[in-house]
C-alpha cells in the first residue's frame, strides 16, 4: 500500500516556498529564533491546507457594487481544534489566526522512551465536541501511536471518525499506515511524508524533536 495512493492522505503541494521552509526547519544548524519563525510559517500553510477539507455549501452574498451578487461558499459545520500536548500546542497560534474565536481542546499523551509507546494522561475537551469537526494537531506523525490514542479519546467523546482531520507537519509512512488501517475514515493532512523511522522510532530524515526545538527544551 503506497501512502501517495491513499484517498485519506492529503500532502500539501510541493511549492518552492514550502520546500524552502522545510529545508530550514530540517537543518540542525538553524538557530532557534529562525527555526520558530519558519516552523510557524510551515504550520500556517498546512493548517490552511487542512481547512480545504471541511464541508461547505454554496452561499450567495450582495457586494457593494451596483447591487451585484456573488455566489461563493460558506463553511457548514462548527469546528474545534484539539492539540496533542506538547508539540500540538505549537500549532495553536496558526489555527487561531486562520479561524477566529476557535475553541481548542487538549489531550496529554507522553511517549515512553524505552518502549516508544504512548501513555494517555489527561484531556480537556468542549462538551459539544461530538457536534463538531475536529482538527487534531500534532506536528510529527511517527509511529502513529499518539494519534491513535488521541483518536480513541475523541471517539469515546462521541466524535465521528469521518469528522477528524489530523494536521501534521511531517508524517512517516509507517505512522500513516498504522492510523489509516485502524481508522480509514480519518483524513491526514501534512506538509511532507518521510519514508523511514530509525531504531528509536524517530522520523528520518525528520527535523528532530519538534516540541523540544520549538519550546527550547533540547538537551
**Which residues does the annotation mark as catalytic?**
111, 115, 209, 212
Q: Which residues fall within 8 angstroms of residue 114, CB to CB, at 6 or more apart?
A: none
Q: Are 16 and 24 in contact (CB under 8 A)?
A: no
* DSSP code string of 82-131: EEEETGGGGGHHHHHHHSTT--EEEEEEEEETTTTEEEEEEEE--TTGGG
Q: How many CB atoms lie within 10 A of CB 11?
A: 16
Q: How many CB atoms lie within 10 A of CB 152?
A: 13
The single-letter DSSP state of residue 7 is T
Picking from 163, 139, 142, the residue whose alpha carbon sits closest to that of residue 151 is 163
3-state secondary structure of 134: strand
Cell numbers 450582495 correspond to 62
* Strand partners for 79: 133
Amino acid at each position: 500500500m503506497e501512502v501517495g495512493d491513499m484517498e485519506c492522505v492529503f500532502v500539501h503541494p510541493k511549492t518552492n516556498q514550502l520546500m524552502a521552509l522545510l529545508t530550514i526547519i530540517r537543518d540542525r544548524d538553524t538557530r532557534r529564533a529562525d527555526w520558530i519563525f519558519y516552523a510557524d510559517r510551515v504550520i500556517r500553510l498546512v493548517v490552511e491546507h487542512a481547512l480545504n477539507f471541511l464541508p461547505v455549501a454554496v452561499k450567495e452574498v450582495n457586494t457593494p457594487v451596483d447591487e451585484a451578487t456573488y455566489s461563493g461558499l460558506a463553511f457548514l459545520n462548527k469546528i474545534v481544534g484539539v492539540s496533542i500536548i506538547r508539540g500540538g500546542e505549537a500549532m495553536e497560534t496558526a489555527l487561531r489566526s486562520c479561524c477566529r474565536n476557535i475553541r481548542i481542546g487538549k489531550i496529554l499523551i507522553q511517549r515512553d522512551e524505552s518502549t516508544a509507546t504512548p501513555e494517555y494522561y489527561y484531556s480537556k475537551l468542549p462538551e459539544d465536541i461530538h457536534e463538531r469537526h475536529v482538527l487534531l494537531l500534532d506536528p510529527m506523525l511517527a509511529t502513529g501511536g499518539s494519534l491513535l490514542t488521541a483518536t480513541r479519546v475523541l471517539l469515546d467523546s462521541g466524535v465521528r471518525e469521518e469528522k477528524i482531520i489530523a494536521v501534521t507537519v511531517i508524517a512517516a509512512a509507517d505512522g500513516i499506515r498504522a492510523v489509516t488501517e485502524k481508522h480509514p475514515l480519518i483524513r491526514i493532512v501534512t506538509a511532507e511524508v518521510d519514508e523511514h523511522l530509525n531504531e528509536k522510532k524517530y522520523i528520518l530524515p525528520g527535523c528532530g524533536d519538534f516540541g523540544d526545538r520549538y519550546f527550547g527544551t533540547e538537551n
